[in-house]
Amino acid sequence: MANVFPNPANEEINFDLTDIPLDGSVRLRITNITGQTFLDRKVYGTGNLLTVGVTTLPTGTYTYCLYQKDKILTKGKFIIN
């Protein structure tokens, strides 16, 4: 599982991908607790840290999923305050 910080967040969220085997690009999907998708895009890492701006997300609880092709690499939750 990726370490996500800061949690709760208000400007950006960081995904520490040190323990996640990456092979090229991955997709990041962020949804709220009702299932509404706020972000679903291909991301390219340069190193082991992925930083995503979250200033446009409303306050609440979100889930994330990092996947490659049809394989889930990691998933979890974070809070925007």
As for how many domains the chain has, the answer is 1
| Whole-prediction pTM | 0.86
pLDDT at site 45:
60
Instruction: For residue range 18-59, list pLDDT tens digits in order.
Output: 877 766 778 999 999 999 999 999 887 656 888 899 999 999
State the CATH number of the domain containing residue 21.
Answer: 2.60.40.10
Q: Which of 42, 45, 38 lies closest to 80, judged by CA? A: 38
- Domain range spanning residue 10? 3-80
Q: How far apart are CA 55 and CA 59, in angstroms?
A: 10
Label residue 2 by pLDDT band (50, 70, 90): confident
The secondary structure of the chain, three-state, reads CCEEECCCECCEEEEECCCCCCCCCEEEEEEECCCCEEEEEEECCCCCEEEEECCCCCCEEEEEEEEECCEEEEEEEEEEC
Residue that the structure tokens 């520490």 belong to: 16
